[in-house]
Amino acid sequence: MKLLGDKELVALQRRVAYYRDTTAYRRIFLYFYPKAFHFCLNYLKNRQLAEEAVSDVMMNLWLLGKKLANVKNLNVYLFSALRNKALDYLERDKKYRFQSELTPDIVSDLKSPEEAMIATETVGAIVAAIDSLPPKCKAVFTLVRELRCSYREAGEILGISENTVNRHIQLAIGHLNKVLKV
């Protein structure tokens, strides 16, 4: 889905809030779903639970009705809700915490088996390095580097300051450089 500007996103948000516009809701859903799913998958390590968490949060977005118009930053609101929902799922069902499902998509684009093997090993090393980050540091890294949230947005989502976000990013990059020996 194409990138939505802030004004367009606010317009869609208002159409959903005031007119219960299903087309606008669908656009919001399709716009946020891939990032939201990836974000929840990082917490839950289970595709089915991640899909369920995203669906629950997106359904709640629809159920807000006119209250949705009062949400100042939809991105921050959604990812805060997603984090809370993922943490609820982890608390409720801890047996999924250690399951991991990550499939490197780039491997399928490679032509030779050697390239695929090297790419798989590289992706595996990167994923393992990211997974070895402390939980808060990993959450900040995921928000900023993978989901492209600003430091301010990441701070609001996680309830920490921008300076703390910056420090977590510095620590994550240092850790990744050390582990991957870049």
Q: 11-43: per-residue pLDDT in tens?
A: 999 999 999 999 999 999 999 999 999 999 988
**Whole-prediction pTM value?**
0.64
Q: How confident is the model over 97-149, as pLDDT tens digits?
A: 333 344 445 545 556 777 777 777 887 888 888 889 998 999 899 888 888 88
- Residue 181: which region, alpha, beta or left (left: phi > 0; alpha: psi -120 to 50)? left
All structural domains of the chain, each given as residue ranges with its CATH number in brackets, are 1-100 (1.10.1740)
Q: Identify whether the C-beta of residue 96 lies closer than 8 Å to the C-beta of residue 45.
A: yes
Q: Say how many CA atoms lie within 13 Å of 56 toward its Cβ.
A: 16
Residue 47: is it exposed, middle or buried by C-beta count within 10 angstroms (0-12/13-18/19+)? middle
